Amino acid sequence: MDELASLHALAERLGVATGYRDGLGRPRVPPPETLLQACIALGAPMEAVRDAADALRAVASWHAGAWLPAVAVARDGWLPTLALPGDAFDPRLELEDGTVHPVEFGDAGLRLAAPLPLGYHTLAIERHGITHRCRVLAAPTETFRDAGRRRGWGVATQVAALRSRRSRSVGDLADLAMLCEWVTERGGDLVGVLPLLPTFNGAPAEPSPYAPVSRLFWSELMLDLGEAHVPAHLDGLLDVARADAEVRAALANRPVPPEALADAELRRYAQFRGAQARLGRNWRAWPADARGGQLRTDQVDGEVERFHLVAEIEARWQLAALRARLDARGMRLGLDLAVGVHPDGYDTWSRQALFAAGISVGAPPDAGFPSGQDWGFPPVLPTASRAEGHAYLGASMRHQLRVAGVLRIDHIMALARLYWIPHGMDLHAGTYVSYPSEELFAILALESHRHRTEIVGENLGTVPAEITAALERHRIAGMYVAQFEANSTAPTLRQPSADEAAMIGTHDTPTFAGWVAGEDIGARVAAGLLAADEEQAVRAERAAAVARLATEVGADAADPRGMLRAVLGWLGGSPSPLVTVWLEDLWLEEGSINLPGTAADLRPNWQRPLAAPLEDLLADPEVVTLAEVLAVARRGRP
């Protein structure tokens, strides 16, 4: 076997794709350097392609010495029979609560004597004086579905944009509660929000909710500070630096709650934020001890540490209170689990062995991004995640599920594969790396039931067949986006199915009015994302898509408001279990909240407030009428 063949065999053994089709349907073969860097990141002992054969033998020896898998799934409580070596002994299956579960051990291997209760359990065996352990995930096959909710509807928004007459520099949880009350009064049962995770707010500010400092804590910017902290004037773009200063001033004299001191992970997070204040945001440039996780007192800004301890507990209290109020009204909060974290964030520092160094996650070329995409965050290593029983992923999910009535999983394809781009390689020269999807979906199903939270999977873009099958098997709703469907080449425009959460557009698409007007097309040309000589062809495609949707719903594309009424009625009358409208669509806002691929100096993504104070918009008769159209359509089907 030559070097390249050995490299390909090694890559396939480690779950690294040696060929795939991009978003345009074109076959791609990643270059050897991409495969090499991916294999090294996954633990292969090699430095160059010439080492592939030796690395392949080493990897094979790892598997030969592992008598138990790192993780096993007991679907609906039943664990498949595990083949064990004949000289293994003392199998012990310890449940999550510390009790021991009976097992049968014979020539056929190890099997359960009775089904397992749902939870995280540990199987251990002894062999040659060595204890081998396996994390057993006992999970239901299907995620939680609330049988009493069949005709849900709501609105989606960014909390920071919800500025009202009582707001400060950004919208907060009091403004969110106001919107929830408005939706409830009109018969809706959900308000969906973008991730409520912490971001970097100091210079340079990075307000994207999809580049969080951590997936384990809450943003301090959304805290309700009360009327005393309302500034005199609100204008212009959202200013996260100013909002950050307002929160710090409001919490300046608050003592640290005892529960913060009892939370070891929170204390370490707060110390990390305090260290960034002293040593800089990029923890990779810190002194060796701090970079490796050992922080001295003199390396941590004590006031910043205290602030984050106080702010996190306050956020937990306020969110818990909001959840209790919503539960009492039959209302749900829809949260969003971001697919990644900022490379300079807490999660990558505190769990360095879990993240691949020198690699970014992105997407191969597709119709929207012909050159490919780099999303800027490092991937979790599937090997390292399995070794810890996927503890980090489980913790990230639980953080959201304690509050969410519905949880949207951003880029749910990540539970099966991610597109890796080694640093220095072209965007189209990356490749896909596989993840243990059965195990990850098991955790999602288990936590969904424990928190009684429904799951929606963002399955947009290039979706492998295994994800489509997994969504069906685990009863996870996919996403139907009317803008995308109208632009498809299918012979007929289909309505959302009973297995799809429906919407007109998302935070990454134009608003409805912007889509009809083609506002995003000119913006893409200005940002260099679309060649000027392609603009007219793209505008013609857009006009055809708009006309197609208008014809389907029986509306006039020249009347955007009338067309929106018809689209909302059409979506509302579908079998979809949940129909959501972006809040800004209700007053035909043309500007989008985000234009993917654009830098902050070209477009102020995530920084656009509402067009007017929230109270005024929610009292606008036309806004109320459009919400009522959706409400009536939802009531019209059994």
- Tell me: the pLDDT tens digits for 463-490? 999 999 999 999 999 999 999 999 988 8
Element (H, E) at 552: helix 535-553
Label residue 233 by pLDDT band (50, 70, 90). Answer: low
User: Is the separation of the CB atoms in 212 and 199 below 8 Å?
Assistant: yes
Label residue 128 by pLDDT band (50, 70, 90). Answer: confident
The per-residue pLDDT for 638 is: 43
Query: Per mean pLDDT, which range of 32-46, 317-331, 360-374 is the poorest?
Result: 360-374
User: Is the separation of the CB atoms in 408 and 458 below 8 Å?
Assistant: yes
* CATH number of 152-338+390-401+459-635, picked from 1.10.10.60, 3.20.20.80, 1.10.1510.10, 3.10.28.10: 3.20.20.80
Query: Per-residue pLDDT averaged across 520-537, rounded?
Result: 92
Distance CA 634, CA 623 (A): 17
Distance CA 17, CA 7 (A): 11
The yes-or-no verdict on residue 445 having pLDDT over 90 is yes
Q: Which two tokens stand for residue 103?
A: 């097992």
The per-residue DSSP string of 204-268 comes to SPB--TTS-S-SSS--GGG----GGG--S---SS--HHHHHHHHHHHTTTPPPPHHHHT-HHHHH
- Within a 13 Å sphere around the CA of 507, how many CA atoms are in the beta-carbon half? 22
Query: Per-residue pLDDT averaged across 69-97, rounded?
Result: 87
Label residue 174 by pLDDT band (50, 70, 90). Answer: very high
Distance CA 427, CA 420 (A): 9
| C-alpha distances in Å from residue 388, one per residue of 79, 210, 267, 354, 409 | 19, 25, 22, 9, 21
13-44 pLDDT, tens digit each: 999 999 999 988 999 999 999 999 999 999 99
Query: Per-residue pLDDT averaged across 496-523, rounded?
Result: 96
The yes-or-no verdict on residue 228 having pLDDT over 70 is no
Residue 234 region by backbone torsions, left for phi larger than 0, else alpha for psi between -120 and 50, else beta: beta
The per-residue pLDDT for 229 is: 57
Q: Residue ranges per domain, the chain?
A: 3-65, 77-139, 152-338+390-401+459-635
Q: What is the dihedral of CA 518, 520, 526, 531, to 10 degrees?
A: -70
Distance CA 170, CA 221 (A): 8
Query: Per-residue pLDDT averaged across 599-617, rounded?
Result: 89
